[in-house]
Amino acid sequence: MTSLSRDTSLASVSNKSPKEDLKGIAAETLDALKNGSPHLQQDLTGPVALSEEATRYYAPDSDLAEWQSSASEQSPSSAACKISLCEESTLQGARRIAQEHPGARIGLLNFASATRPGGGFLSGARAQEESIARSSTLFPTLMTDEAQQFYKLHIRDRKGGYYSHAMIYSPDVLLFRGDAGEWLEPLAVDVLTSAAVNAGVVRQRAGERGEDPQHEEEKIARAMEERMGRVLYLLEKQGVRHIVLGSFGTGVFRNNVETVASIWAKLLKEGSRFEKSFDRIVFAIIGRATFEKFEDVSSVELGYIRPG
């Protein structure tokens, strides 16, 4: 298997803690969005305004609920979708596709906090959403009135950790930094923001109520399958054929890695609803243990998956 680079710590290049370094990168990014930066060859004000204007909120009762019964809205791919499982970040996965397919429209799934735009990126958190937020123009789109409907919904009712199937779609987000804060040539991508089920909270509350653990795991899996199906349907409806996915919700939200991998396989394998919806998929996964668990399932259930 090809060994791919991982998200690297900044501790080796700074006397500050990694968390303090990441807070500094986030602050730098926000300043660049507002005032520009000598590290960038373009003013971001115009692109950010256009992306903000085009950002859309999809409520839990939107037509995305019809994903199972709706026919594909794109012409079927003429060739088998190439799917890679790569031990790398979402940012690296996006640039991998851009290098392979110059000019291709790329979509990313943002593993979102349900209540905080960008998660904890301003305070130096290291998870996937924070990496995207401190490296791109995503955050301003999440602060629009349109996108704020997503956060207000979940602040009002977290549904016991299940959250909802609501989503935000932010087109033409510019990625202009790497995972370690390095400045890079801006790359335009579409970002789909969705919150996974917080399985840790769901299990805790089910235990407090004396619920059957296996029954609750089945409920979590059903909710995740519905949400992940809607993710793929929205990307399909937007005409995006090159996408970066991953081990959705298996970090702090504690979803089972094998379950998430199995759901993606079910939705994408031969004969599935989304078999011919995409041309290129990268599953970008950080962490050797998560990577190996994901691979164990996907290599069996999604037989044509292969490393980059």
Residue 28 within any structural domain of the chain: yes
The string of pLDDT tens digits covering residues 147-187 is: 999 999 999 999 999 999 999 999 999 999 999 999 999 99
Domain encompassing residue 233: 12-301
pLDDT of residue 308: 47
pTM of the model: 0.92
User: Could you tell me if residue 306 is inside a domain?
Assistant: no
Average pLDDT over residues 132-148: 98
Please check whether residue 307 lies inside any domain of the structure: no
Helix-then-strand count for the chain, H and E: 10, 7
Average pLDDT, whole number, for the chain? 91
Pairing of strands 167-177, 183-194: antiparallel
Least confident of 70-79, 174-183, 257-266: 70-79
CA dist., res. 234 & res. 169, Å (int): 8
Place of tokens 């690296």: 92
Q: 237 in a domain, yes or no? A: yes
- pLDDT one-digit tens code per residue, 99-114: 999 999 999 999 999 9
Position 4 in a domain: no
What pLDDT score does 14 carry?
Answer: 47
Residue 6: inside a domain: no
Residue 10 pLDDT? 31
- The CATH number of whichever domain residue 84 belongs to comes to 3.40.220.10
Q: Kindly provide the residue ranges of all beta strands, DSSP E only, lying in the chain, ordered along the sequence.
A: 56-58, 82-86, 106-111, 167-177, 183-194, 242-245, 280-284
Mean pLDDT comparison of 11-25, 87-101, 293-307, highest-scoring range: 87-101
What burial class does residue 59 get, using C-beta atoms within 10 Å of its C-beta: 0-12 exposed, 13-18 middle, 19+ buried?
Answer: middle
Are 21 and 14 in contact by the 8 Å Cβ rule? The answer is yes
Helix (H, G, I), strand (E, B) or coil at 96: helix
State the Cα–Cα distance between residues 96 and 282, nearest whole angstrom. 9
What's the number of domains the chain is made of? Answer: 1
What is the pLDDT, as a whole number, of residue 78? Answer: 65
Query: Residues 6 or more apart from 113 whose CB is under 8 A from it?
Result: 119, 120, 129, 195
DSSP code at position 281 = E
Whether 291 is covered by a domain: the verdict is: yes
Q: Tens of pLDDT along 109-130?
A: 999 999 999 999 999 999 999 9
Distance (Å, whole) CA 40 – CA 45: 12
Asked whether residue 2 is domain-assigned, the answer is no
Q: Using pLDDT thresholds of 50, 70 and 90, give the confidence band for residue 2.
A: very low
